[in-house]
Amino acid sequence: MIHFVSNHFWPDGSPSGVLVEELADTLREMGYETVLVAGTGSFYETQRPAPNSPIVHLATGEGARGKSQVDILRDSMRFWKALRSYVRTHVSDGDAVFMTSAPFVNVFMIRSLKRLKKRVTTIFHLQDYLPSNVSSLGLLQRLGAPVLKKVIDHFLRQWDLVMMCSGNIEYSGTNGVVARLWPTIVKPEKREVDKTAKSALYAGNLGIVHNTAALVKEIEKLHSDGWTIDTYGGGPGYADLPEYVRQHQFVSGDEYLDVLYSHPLHLVCSIFGNGSYPSKVMNSLYIGADVRPCGFVEPMLKELDVLRTIPDLAQNRPASARLIDELLKNHGKRP
């Protein structure tokens, strides 16, 4: 059994949750028994089929998408408490555990897994590298970042495999490997982006850790050049957007595809720091839209250049599944 753990899974629309669901189903098709373990928090609901892997929702008591650092920390600790109970009860000898960095406290769960005294293969999906991200939030966080890095790296090195979601992640342990993300859409045949439209798109969440100021700066440039700007999403950062921006609610399924294809320019806002990478870039590049990075630091810009050279980003998913398959085979855990 492979236990895939994240705080958001179907019908939630968290990009990280969708990616892990697809990875779990890919391994299920390869013959592995898989289960998705999620909390009870919400991001936004989507119109998409349920994954083939069964889902266990833990009674975590999480609220809606956190709007402050206190909210995020509170919900993370609630998830941690419920997950520790699940691990003790449901993870058996010979199982594998795949945990994402959402929430960040999952990295410390390696201690609970080792205390089981069972043969458990451990995999950590590093979608967000906390020491790099928090260094941009404020003076206190910046001063504490070097110490936090030592602590986080100490625990990361104890996992059997650390899958870094992009090449700009600053973790350098010997168990780390770059396993890039992939598109979460199915590209329609013979459909092309409407390059004649002078409309730009921002789709997704704008939270407290997003560089909203950089996004607004780019929006203002485009607006002065005659572009219209549409946004589809939510989050506290939307209140800071100029009034001429046309704001819409989250969309999914065919509606989401229509939105992507009808806008030739896609704005992508970075999270402060250099510890994560916006997964929405994969969808935009995949369909042939122009990507305009907002607030990207140099390592993130270099990663974008690499992504633009990959012939088929959809192949990143089977490549990640093969990494896990090879690890499990080396540990004697064939399906």
Amino acid found at 74:
R
Question: Per residue in 268-291, pLDDT tens?
Answer: 999 877 888 999 999 999 999 999
Percent of the chain residues past pLDDT 70, beyond the cut = 90
Of the listed ranges 48-57, 170-179, 326-335, the one predicted with least confidence: 326-335
Strands of 290-294's sheet in order across: 246-248, 228-234, 199-205, 265-269, 290-294
What is the CATH architecture assignment of 2-180+314-330?
3-Layer(aba) Sandwich (3.40)
User: What's the whole-number mean pLDDT along residues 140-164?
Assistant: 90
Q: Where are the alpha helices (DSSP H) in 117-267?
A: 130-134, 139-156, 212-224, 253-261
Q: Is the pLDDT of residue 41 over 70?
A: no
What contacts 309, CB < 8 A, 6 or more positions away? none
What contacts 195, CB < 8 A, 6 or more positions away? 264
In this prediction, residue 135 has a pLDDT band, given cuts at 50, 70 and 90, of low
Residue predicted with more confidence, 12 or 28 = 28
Distance CA 98, CA 245 (A): 40
**Fold match between domain 2-180+314-330 and domain 199-309:** yes
Helix (H, G, I), strand (E, B) or coil at 110: helix
Residue 143's pLDDT is: 75
Domain borders along the chain are 2-180+314-330, 199-309
Question: Per residue in 199-219, pLDDT tens?
Answer: 999 999 898 788 999 999 999
Q: Angle of helix 280-287 relative to helix 298-309, nearest 10 degrees?
A: 40
What contacts 282, CB < 8 A, 6 or more positions away? 181, 182, 183, 184, 307, 313, 316
User: What's the whole-number mean pLDDT along residues 99-117?
Assistant: 90
Q: What pTM value is reported for the model?
A: 0.90
Residue 265's pLDDT is: 98
Asked whether 23 and 317 are in contact (CB, 8 A), the reply is: yes
Can you tell me which residue has the tokens 């939030």? Answer: 137
Q: Is the pLDDT of residue 177 over 70?
A: yes
Q: What is the DSSP string of 111-136?
A: HHHHHT-S--EEEEEESB-HHHHHTT
Q: Which fold has domain 199-309?
A: Rossmann fold (3.40.50)
Task: State the first-to-last Cα distance of the chain, in angstroms, to the nearest integer.
Answer: 9
Question: Per residue in 59-83, pLDDT tens?
Answer: 766 555 555 666 666 777 778 788 8
Asked whether 251 and 259 are in contact (CB, 8 A), the reply is: yes
Helix (H, G, I), strand (E, B) or coil at 157: coil
Residue 208's pLDDT is: 79
Question: Per residue in 318-328, pLDDT tens?
Answer: 999 999 999 99
Of the listed ranges 122-136, 138-152, 154-168, 291-305, the one predicted with least confidence: 138-152
